[in-house]
Amino acid sequence: MRRLLAAALLTAVAASACSAPEPPRSAAPSAAPARPVTLPVPAGGPIGSTVLHLTDASRPDPWDESLPARELKVTLWYPTKPGDGPRAPYMSVKEAELLLTGTGMAPESSQALSQTRTHAVRDADPAGRGLPLVVLSPGFTKPMSTLTSLAEDLAARGYVVAGIDHTHESYATTLADGRVVGCLACESSNDPGFRAGLVRGRAADVSFVLDRLTTAYPHLIDRERIAMAGQSIGGAAAVAAMVADPRIRAGIDMDGTTYARIPDGGLSRPFLFLGTPQHAPGGLDHSWDRDWRKLTGWRRWLVVDRAEHQTFTDVPLVAGVIGLESLPGMLPAARGAELTRAYVAAFLDLHLRGRPQPLLDGPSPRHPEVRFAAQ
């Protein structure tokens, strides 16, 4: 089954009316099953990855009224010492299958998608002390795995990365007991206030994860240097989390319409809007224009030409595996990943490490796709 990556774009535009998965756009006969791909090689040193299951007993699950506590799956990526070991899995076959079928795609490529090659050594010991921490939050219905390329790159550059699977907000989340739960939140995704409630819930997830990680890894993590980035509603969650939790010193929203209310006094910590041309100033979505005025600290609004909503995720990288065709004229997948990694890392290096970043001062001849829409 072949589908156009363009569907992602169309859905994004129609999303106000339509949040449930769209069925396949075409049903041409499938080609031979594609072989698994390898994610782009990260920029720096060796990395490890491990999975934590954390339970917040202080609040019920926001989506399943029968659960008195909120259980979260957190994937950590971090620098490690050189050494060999089995690579961390990308996602399980079951997760891949639920993601594909949930999205309205054929499950045949589940195996190949789950075998996407990563670069992190599974459960390797972390190396380093006092490292800055970056929280990542994925798009609605997406498992955290869809931001693995970015997570691995940041870890290789010396960050601890904590990617959160927000339970019941993804088509597939594996819990501590091995059960794989689906997208209960999808049931109410057309309700008024759904998005505002969802980002508020994610902000609570993030604060809880920060509490736990800074306690569990007091030497590895520098609790004074924490940032958050997310794609789509995960980016909207970054705004919500920064409003709610002053520990987060800087944030990045990758193409997510924003829903949290920034207080009248504004948000003075650094923030980066990194969007597709859909999210240019004065566009159809007014949320970035609305919030831009309330960003009172260091801020940039970058628009990546020829990017689409998933450019900032792994989806274009695995598109061939799962039978997605990219739209003519869109950025090649590898270039999208490269730009995402470069600008996210530059922002974090500037604000968590105090390293000057000419890349963020203005247009760069080596990155002609990136426009400085406002600053």
Residue count of the chain, please give it: 375
| CB within 8 Å of 267: residues ≥ 6 apart | 239, 242, 243, 294, 295, 296, 297
Q: How many Cβ atoms are within 10 Å of 350's Cβ, its own excluded?
A: 18
Tokens of 347: 């922002």
Q: Which of 110, 141, 149, 326 binds other proteins (CB under 8 A)?
A: 141
**Minimum gap (Å) between residue 321 Cβ and other proteins:** 12
Residues 53-72 that bind other proteins (CB under 8 A): 62, 64-66
Q: Which structure tokens are listed for 93?
A: 């076959």
Under the binding rule (CB under 8 A), the answer on residue 311 touching other proteins is: no
- Using rule CB under 8 A, residue 11 touches other proteins: yes
Strand 160-165 versus strand 70-79 pairing type: antiparallel
Contact predicate 22/45, CB 8 Å: no
The residue type found at 286 is H
Instruction: Measure Cα distances from 265 to 242, 245, 258, 334 in Å.
Output: 14, 15, 18, 40
- Name which of 165 and 255 has its Cβ closer to other proteins: 255
Neighbouring C-beta atoms of residue 278, cutoff 10 Å: 17
Q: Any contact of residue 190 with other proteins (CB under 8 A)?
A: yes
Question: What's the token pair of residue 256?
Answer: 């997510």
Minimum CB separation from other proteins for residue 262, in Å? 10
Decide whether 71 or 349 has the Cβ nearer to other proteins. 71
Task: Find the part of the chain contacting other proteins (CB under 8 A) among 30-38, 147-155, 173-181, 254-262.
Answer: 254-262
Binding-site size for other proteins (CB under 8 A) equals 65
Query: Is the Cβ–Cβ distance between 290 and 273 less than 8 Å?
Result: no
- Residue 231 in contact with other proteins, rule: CB under 8 A: yes
Minimum distance from residue 322 beta carbon to other proteins (Å): 8
User: Considering the rule CB under 8 A, would residue 197 count as an interface residue with other proteins?
Assistant: yes
Which of 5-13, 33-41, 218-226, 350-358 is the region at the interface with other proteins (rule: CB under 8 A)?
A: 5-13
Place of tokens 């690579």: 87
User: Which residues of this protein are in contact with other proteins, per CB under 8 A?
Assistant: 3, 5, 7-8, 10-23, 62, 64-66, 103, 105, 139-142, 186-198, 200, 231-236, 255-257, 259-261, 278-279, 284-287, 290, 309-310, 315, 324
